[in-house]
Structure 1
Amino acid sequence: MVLPIWPGPTMLAEGYGRTPTSPVIRTTMESGRSRTRRRFRVFPIAVQGSFHLTDHQYLQCTEFVEQTLNGWASPFLLTLRDSRGVRQVRAQFLAPATETLVSPTGLWRWDAQLETLNIY
């Protein structure tokens, strides 16, 4: 399956945060120590950040999420800057972004929560 590519700018580090999911699971045994094992190799990471959009980018991104992503539901490819540098990840919105008009000249800010997976 070919994933659509995010048409807007790279997610900004302003307000950026990430919450990794633990890749290990512990099983309590009847006797002795608990057993710890790896649950999966590639694990989802919840990411919070902002997109700053011009009026044109705002219209482009709104159309993208409503039509291409089936109303914020489908996964897509996103260029993301984090501790590993700038890279492309598989992303999916956890909820619709909060849209704020920052400037009367047409600058928008989308605060978004995404779930990402690394692409190797």
Structure 2
Amino acid sequence: MIQYPKELPSPLREGYGFTPVSPLLRTKTQTGRAIQRRKYSSVPTEAAVSWVFNSSEAQLFESWFEEVLISGSKWFECELRTPQGLMPYRARFIDIYSGPKLFGVDHWRFTADFELFERPILLGGWAVYAPEFIAGMNIFDIAMNFDWPEFQEHQQPLLTESGQQLLTEAGEVILV
């Protein structure tokens, strides 16, 4: 997979955002109501991005777009910030970028729209089976990293109700 050049900065926050493509099919009926269903289970998301490059970064960006991505037609992997955090996504340019536009003394502004191969959402049943973990994930993360047993100074063996130590399958004592 082609990689976004590590020598180039990430997109700016200004104007940065996502627009998912609708997976729905809606059909109006004669009664005035509509029937709606999911037409696709996997749809792309469009991302609006912009950059400010110095002259050498601008040259690299334009050359990479033309020669590596073959005028922007190839898919590539780049790190983008979404509600999931900063993660790698498979993307391609929807059309040619806009720019370069002179910005300041020796910087150049570029804007473009990406197509992300998949919607950047949390999958795996979390919203169905454990929505409270999603809603409280920041608290959970802090609690687990602060109170995790391996980081406590004085660990005690985990005991059953009868006072016996619990062991792993390998015969090691479980400490808490």
TM-score (norm 1): 0.80
1:16-31 aligned at under 5 Å gives the runs: 16-26=16-26
Specify the alignment match of 2:102 in structure 1.
101
Bigger strand fraction = 1
1:1-40 aligned at under 5 Å gives the runs: 3-7=1-5, 8-26=8-26, 36-40=36-40
- In 2, Cα distance between the equivalents of 1:25 and 1:67? 39
CA contact 1:13–1:81 (8 Å) conserved in 2: no
Report how far residue 109 of structure 1 moved: 1.3
- In 2, Cα distance between the equivalents of 1:79 and 1:69? 17
Specify the alignment match of 1:78 in structure 2.
78
- In 1, Cα distance between the equivalents of 2:13 and 2:117? 18
- In 1, Cα distance between the equivalents of 2:84 and 2:25? 25
- In 2, Cα distance between the equivalents of 1:65 and 1:22? 28
Greater gyration radius = 2
Higher RCO by CA contacts (8 Å cutoff, separation 6 or greater):
1
Number of positions where the alignment pairs a residue of Structure 1 with one of Structure 2: 116
TM-score (norm 2): 0.57
- In 2, Cα distance between the equivalents of 1:42 and 1:53? 34
In structure 1, runs of 5+ residues without a counterpart are none
CA RMSD of aligned residues (A): 2.3
Letter in 2 for 1:73: S
Q: Secondary structure at the match of 1:63?
A: helix
